[in-house]
Amino acid sequence: MKVLVINCGSSSAKFELIDMTNEQSLAKGNCERIGIANPIFSYKNLLTGEKIDKMEVPMENHTVAVELILKTLQDEKIGVISSVDEIDSIGHRIVHGGEYYEKSVIVDDEVIKNLEEIAPLAPLHNPAHIMGIKVVQKLLPGKKNVVVFDTAFHQTMPGKAYMYPYPYEDYTDLKVRKYGFHGTSHRYVSEVAREMLGKEDSKIIVCHLGNGASISAVQNGKVVDTSMGMTPLAGVMMGTRTGDVDPASVIYIMRKRGLSLDEMNTRMNKQSGILGIFGESSDFRDLDTARREGNERAVLAYEMFCYRIQLYIGAYVAAMNGVDAIAFTGGIGENSVGAKQHICEALSYFGIELDKEKNEQRLPGNVELSTKNSKVKIYKIETAEELVIARDTYKLTKE
């Protein structure tokens, strides 16, 4: 029973093949710059370690890219299967499920119709996902496809959390509301944290801190609030995204700089956040190095990044009227010793106490990082979004 997980972007297709009998990842890779100049293909056989590193290959569209993926997976030398018959089903990561989906579903005509209807809410992502599903249906006919939504886990939020105070018709006519993203990660990490906590009744704050970052408050397994909004632009400061700003500042900058809607959209999504403040890179490791060297803008960006997370944690303690555990995940959440320390130290009022030495040990896997005396558990949990997609796909299609 092998599941192929696919994440199609407008010019990319990430993939991973997982054997569900033992949940072992067999191979993974990425097609980048599909349909644009100098497309590149990366692949790794996870059983032997053999890989193709950023090879330039012509990929004029997603059909060619998925054909290349399937061909490589079956390659005599570096492949992991002898025929596509070994792939039982395909799990697709979908950014936006609107209000239609609170869990993963098997793809049928109605699903495609709904995804097309939701597409304007995620214009950069959903059309690419739909295209990916259609390409896979064409190249792997007869196989079941499952869609797993980034928004689904957040559908339990109450109206008071997901509504924006615009005129009500903007919700009824345009579906403007908070949806939240990174749901597969928040779901997986909160479930692991709940197990580590050993408590069914639990108040958990998940900090997914990667290039994109979001925080969620999960009470008894259900999301009560999350930091991203109608789009992934809201919430904490990110690698290149602003996160929360005064909406009037958007209008002001556009007027003063004479920017179009698209230009402002690019400014807020691609040129802001850590990159915008630091000015040299959006990568947290680069930021950390520059901060240590005394670069003032790096120090400011680092402090802003941590401060905004600290504020959200405070807000979510208030939202749940308490907290049992804070779980850090994502590239920064899992790996940055300094960010975890900086954030936790600022929250000592809540009885949150990080075990500094243990944090500095950079232990692999899922570990508790709080001291014995800490009133709140602090965990570092390795997220596994592809595995969650594969598990859902397997569960829905094995019957």
User: Residue 286 CB, nearest distance to ligand AMP (Å)?
Assistant: 7
Which residue type occupies 371?
T
Indicate the helix (H) or strand (E) that contains 267.
helix 261-270
- CB of 98 or CB of 180, closer to ligand AMP: 180
Q: Dihedral angle at the C-alpha atoms of 131, 137, 140, 142, nearest 10 degrees? A: 170
- Please pick, among 19, 108, 109, 150, the residue that the annotation labels catalytic: 150
- CB of 101 or CB of 302, closer to ligand AMP: 302
- CB of 138 or CB of 285, closer to ligand AMP: 285
Contact, 272 vs 282, CB < 8 A? no
Structure tokens at 179: 């949806």
* Short-list 152, 133, 114, 181, CA closest to 4: 133
User: Residue 210 CB, nearest distance to ligand AMP (Å)?
Assistant: 2
19 annotated active-site: no
Beta bridge partners of residue 223, listed in sequence order:
218
Contact, 328 vs 261, CB < 8 A? no
- CB of 134 or CB of 358, closer to ligand AMP: 358
* Short-list 173, 144, 161, 138, CA closest to 63: 138
Contact, 19 vs 36, CB < 8 A? no
Which residue type occupies 396?
L
Contact, 41 vs 58, CB < 8 A? no
Indicate the helix (H) or strand (E) that contains 2.
strand 2-8
User: Residue 116 CB, nearest distance to ligand AMP (Å)?
Assistant: 28
- CB of 79 or CB of 232, closer to ligand AMP: 232
- CB of 314 or CB of 338, closer to ligand AMP: 338
Distance in angstroms (rounded) separating the CA atoms of residues 328 and 193: 10
Residue nearest to ligand AMP (CB): 331
Residue 188 gets which letter from DSSP? H
Residue 221 burial (C-beta neighbours within 10 Å; 0-12, 13-18, 19+): middle
User: Residue 363 CB, nearest distance to ligand AMP (Å)?
Assistant: 13
- CB of 98 or CB of 239, closer to ligand AMP: 239
Beta bridge partners of residue 327, listed in sequence order:
206, 379
User: Residue 185 CB, nearest distance to ligand AMP (Å)?
Assistant: 9
User: Residue 340 CB, nearest distance to ligand AMP (Å)?
Assistant: 10
Residue count of the chain: 399
Q: Phi/psi zone of residue 32: left (φ > 0), alpha (ψ -120 to 50 degrees), beta?
A: beta
Q: Where are the beta strands (DSSP E) in 157-212?
A: 203-209
User: Residue 330 CB, nearest distance to ligand AMP (Å)?
Assistant: 4
Q: Which residues contribute to the site for ligand AMP (CB under 6 A)? A: 210-211, 239, 283-285, 288, 330-332, 335-336
- CB of 132 or CB of 330, closer to ligand AMP: 330
User: Residue 60 CB, nearest distance to ligand AMP (Å)?
Assistant: 28
Contact, 201 vs 208, CB < 8 A? no
Query: Which residues are known to be catalytic?
Result: 150
